[in-house]
Amino acid sequence: MEYINSCKEEINLRLEKIKQEITPLIDSYVTFFNIEKVFSSENGGKTRLNRQLFNENHEIIVQKILEINDVFEEMLDLIKTNIKSILSEFKEFDKVDFINLIFDDKNFLEILELDLNNEVIPREKKREVVREIIALFTLKNRIFNFKYYLSMIDTTIFDKHINKFGVEELINSSIIFEVIDSYGLQYKELEKFQLEIDYLTPKIEKIQSFQFLNSLLELHKRRCDNFFYANTRYKISIEYNNDLEFRKPMLFNISYLENIISCFIEQSCMDLVKQELKKGKIQKFIDINIQKIKGRIVITVKNNGFEIKNIFSLFSSDVDNKFVLEAKNLADSMNALLEIYSVENEGMVYSISFKA
């Protein structure tokens, strides 16, 4: 496992660098909750939202996110190089394109094992190759999981929203406090990121219900209300039902579960945009349900968007399938069942389920 140990050492060094970059992010976010700075007064005495403060801190946050993302990309390049080195001696894989590492891990491993069976090498060597690739895929998925948090703390959506405010919105106290609350929901994701970055191996936590998802779902609700694609705003409504409680505590990888649900929501947004581009203006909604069905806990994300008839096409190695592939790889690592299907004239359903 020489490749793996060396790779982990390099990644851990870079994670230490990222930990130092989180403090400036926190400082910028904290500014959003400083009431003395958030409000400014006009000559007429009216108090209004200090838009300049939000714009300036947004620029700092986005710049820091870009810098952190560059470090994560270095890690992925490192993983990519190690995968190529391990597979370079096998003719079927020496020319495989690993540009973005976006593919179905399980399918890749199945093909790898089949091809290794055709190679004249010792059985233990074959097993070692598979173990090393699995270990590198595990690292890859954790890095993508870290990158997911960057997308959740990116203030671009809310900054665009604020920049569209007219005079009336800027002095409307209910709108102002809703804005501050939205940044507060993002700040919770930043706190999660700060905790997660300490663990290259994700934590498994004991939970009694899925109530911890509420802040994330509320954040998505506000993000989707201001969803932008190709510089066009699409107002997407989200409703969620999260009342399920367990009879006994269950162990979950919370970070991966939240990542999967977020992938389903992002994919649903794209389905809805496609539907509107194809058929014209429509009411766009996403419905999230958490329930127990036949001894399994099932989380479904349903939308009334574009119906994808060829479900298998969603699992092909394509950047357009990023959200589905990311969700599938994480679900497989959790021994969960991921299902995708279309409902005729109703849209798409994305679900993940676990044994209760």
Q: Amino acid identity, residue 242?
A: N
Provide the domain count of the chain: 2
Tokens encoding 167 = 């005079």
Question: Which of 152, 177, 201 is at the close of a domain?
Answer: 201
Residues 63, 129, single domain; the answer is yes
Question: Which of 201, 219, 246 is at the close of a domain?
Answer: 201
Residues 208, 107, single domain; the answer is no
Which contacts of 125-131 are long-range, i.e. CB under 8 A and separated by 24 or more positions? 129/86, 129/87, 131/1
12 CB-side CA count, 13 A: 9
What pLDDT is stored for residue 35 in this prediction? 86
Residues 218, 154, single domain; the answer is no
Residues 142, 58, single domain; the answer is yes
Residues 101, 234, single domain; the answer is no
Residues 336, 265, single domain; the answer is yes
What pLDDT is stored for residue 309 in this prediction? 78
* 21 in Cβ contact with 68 (< 8 Å): yes
Q: What is the 3-state secondary structure (H, E, C) of 177-222?
A: HHHHHHHHHHHHHHHHHHHHCCCCCCCCEEEEECHHHHHHHHHHHH
Residues 206, 337, single domain; the answer is yes
What pLDDT is stored for residue 43 in this prediction? 55
Residues 303, 157, single domain; the answer is no
Residues 84, 38, single domain; the answer is yes
Backbone angles phi and psi of 283, in degrees to 5: -75, 125
Residues 151, 234, single domain; the answer is no
Largest CA distance in the chain: 84
What pLDDT is stored for residue 19 in this prediction? 96
The DSSP secondary structure of 300-351, one letter per residue, reads: EEEESS---S-GGGGGSS-GGGHHHHHHHHHHHHTTPEEEEEEETTTEEEEE
- pLDDT tens for the chain, 356 residues long, are 777 888 999 999 999 999 999 999 999 999 999 988 988 876 556 788 999 999 999 999 999 999 999 999 999 999 999 998 888 877 766 556 678 899 999 999 998 888 888 877 888 988 999 999 999 999 999 999 999 999 999 999 999 999 999 988 888 888 889 999 999 999 999 999 999 999 999 999 999 999 999 999 999 999 999 999 988 999 999 999 999 888 889 999 999 999 999 999 999 999 999 999 998 999 999 999 999 998 899 999 999 999 887 888 888 777 789 999 999 999 999 999 999 999 988 999 999 999 87
